[in-house]
Amino acid sequence: MSAPLSAAVLPFLPFSRPTIDEGTIAAVGDVLRSGWISSGPRVHDFEQQLSAYFGGRPVLTFNSGTSTMEIALRVAGVGAGDEVVTTPISWPATANVILAVGATPVFADIDPAARNIDLDQLEAAITPRTRALIPVHLAGLPVDMDRLYAIAARHRLRVVEDAAQAFGSRWHGRRVGAFGDLVSFSFQANKNLTTGEGGCLVLNDAGEAALAAKYRLQGVTRSGVDGIDVDLPGGKHNMSDIMAAIGLGQFANIDAVTAHRRALARHYFARFGAGFESASGARLPLADFEHGNWHLFQIILPDRGPGTRAGFMEAMACRGIGTGFHYAPIHLFSLYRARGYAEGMFPVAERVGRLTVTLPMFHAMTFDDVERVVAAVESILIHARVPR
Ligand SMILES: *Cc1c(COP(=O)(O)O)cnc(C)c1O
């Protein structure tokens, strides 16, 4: 098979790529030359700025979004014997942290339109052992926060929002993170705001922040004559000033990043046009321009049997375009099958997990790039009608 002409003349377009400006690179250099490269003044400054952004709520930074979520569960008092209800369509971290604190993950199926956890099924999965809920704002689109927090209040449950993908998202005008219970963000390389690796947690009050700070660094607390004690088995989860310098540079641009991603998403919808879904059998994401930050632009492929997605991704790669999939259903991984989960339990998640594809979406992308992606998708799904 000969590669299409476009692959020969255009550079490869990845599905995601971080944008780090020269000012940020210089700021990292300053940290490296300063003699203080671990947690210090930059981390403090970053946490202050984040706290102001989230309406003055306490914010702590961490070395990953996974650490952030695990410590959120510990702060919420979740442990052995507790159940936590979550979605099977997420990165494995969402469920793995529940196991890490000794609790039991309980999955509920997703809603096929938003692809987030279905809140009716979430409520149906609550038992007397349920202690907390972990909704995921997939692709940056928030779950219905009014309904979520009404359910949590009705059953007296803690909420740890997996807002890893939702920095810059809003719920009816309010920033995700500026309200609610414990809200966890990731700053991993592909996220809208990155520190290379990292995360932050928005908490309710100074007491929770002090507890999270102890879990973050070996359980160390200031007390006694020598000013140090350890009173719980904390770990090593702190962010360095090198990471925080990247975060400060990224944070300064976050509104422009969100606006550009929204414009790219609008262009995707305009170029696919009203007839795309019926002509291709594929499904576009919800055209919600009020709430999400467009972390990912995902389509659901028409089901053409086993290998549908692999064939599509390969055909896109032949056209010089990278794609990804987010995510394979967690309950079908062997770790979770061994705990009693099996095929057929969450049919919507299983279908979406098999057929979802992430198209390119990142800050340095142009409208021309969007047009190139749309032309490639249409040539595969509509004109050729063979994904393999
Ligand atoms: C990125 C991500 C995480 C984990 O964050 P890390 O920083 O990679 O540990 C968790 N949940 C979701 C939905 C994510 O996208």
94 C-alpha to ligand 1 centroid (Å) = 7
pLDDT of residue 29: 98
H or E stretch covering 351: helix 347-355
Residue whose CA is at the smallest distance from ligand 1 atom 5: 65
pLDDT of residue 4: 55
The per-residue DSSP string of 106-154 comes to EE-PBPTTT-SBPHHHHHHT--TTEEEEE-B-GGG----HHHHHHHHHH
Site to substitute for ligand 1 among 16, 182, 186, most atoms within 8 A of C-beta: 186
Please name the CATH architecture into which domain 7-16+254-381 falls.
Answer: Alpha-Beta Complex (3.90)
73 C-alpha to ligand 1 centroid (Å) = 15
Would you say the CATH fold of 22-251 matches that of 7-16+254-381? no
pLDDT of residue 387: 45
Q: Sheet harboring 104-107: ordered strands across? A: 59-62, 199-202, 182-186, 158-162, 130-134, 83-86, 104-107
Phi-psi region of 88 (alpha: psi -120 to 50; beta: other; left: phi over 0): alpha
pLDDT per residue rounded down to tens, the chain (388 residues): 455 555 457 899 999 999 999 999 999 999 999 999 999 999 999 999 999 999 999 999 999 999 999 999 999 999 999 999 999 999 999 999 999 999 999 999 999 999 999 999 999 999 999 999 999 999 999 999 999 999 999 999 999 999 999 999 999 999 999 999 999 999 999 999 999 999 999 999 999 999 999 999 999 988 778 889 999 999 999 999 999 999 999 999 999 999 999 999 999 999 999 999 999 999 999 999 999 999 999 999 999 999 999 999 999 999 999 999 999 999 999 999 999 999 999 999 999 999 999 999 999 999 999 999 999 999 999 987 554 4
> What is the separation of C-alpha 106 from the centre of its chain, rounded to a whole number of angstroms?
19
- Residue extents of the structural domains in the chain: 7-16+254-381, 22-251
Q: Which atom of ligand 1 is nearest to the CA of 66?
A: 9
Q: Which of 214, 218, 85 is nearest to 162 (CA)?
A: 85
| Domain 22-251 class, CATH top level | alpha beta
User: Cα dihedral angle (133, 137, 141, 142), rounded to 10 degrees?
Assistant: 30
Most distant pair of Cα atoms in the chain: their distance: 76
Please answer whether residues 299 and 283 qualify as being in contact, where contact means their C-beta atoms are separated by less than 8 angstroms: yes
CA–CA distance, 177 with 183 (Å, rounded to integer): 6
Q: Which atom of ligand 1 is nearest to the CA of 136?
A: 13
65 C-alpha to ligand 1 centroid (Å) = 5
Residue whose CA is at the smallest distance from ligand 1 atom 2: 164
Residue whose CA is at the smallest distance from ligand 1 atom 6: 65
DSSP 235: -
CA–CA distance, 373 with 64 (Å, rounded to integer): 31
pLDDT of residue 220: 93
Q: Is 66 in the pocket of ligand 1 (CB under 6 A)?
A: yes
Q: Is 136 in the pocket of ligand 1 (CB under 6 A)?
A: yes
365 CB contacts (<8 Å, ≥6 apart)? 13, 264
Cα-trace Rg, the chain: 22
Annotated catalytic residues are: 191
- The structure's pTM equals 0.95
Phi-psi region of 185 (alpha: psi -120 to 50; beta: other; left: phi over 0): beta
Cis peptide before 215 (omega within 30 of 0): no
Site to substitute for ligand 1 among 136, 162, 190, most atoms within 8 A of C-beta: 162
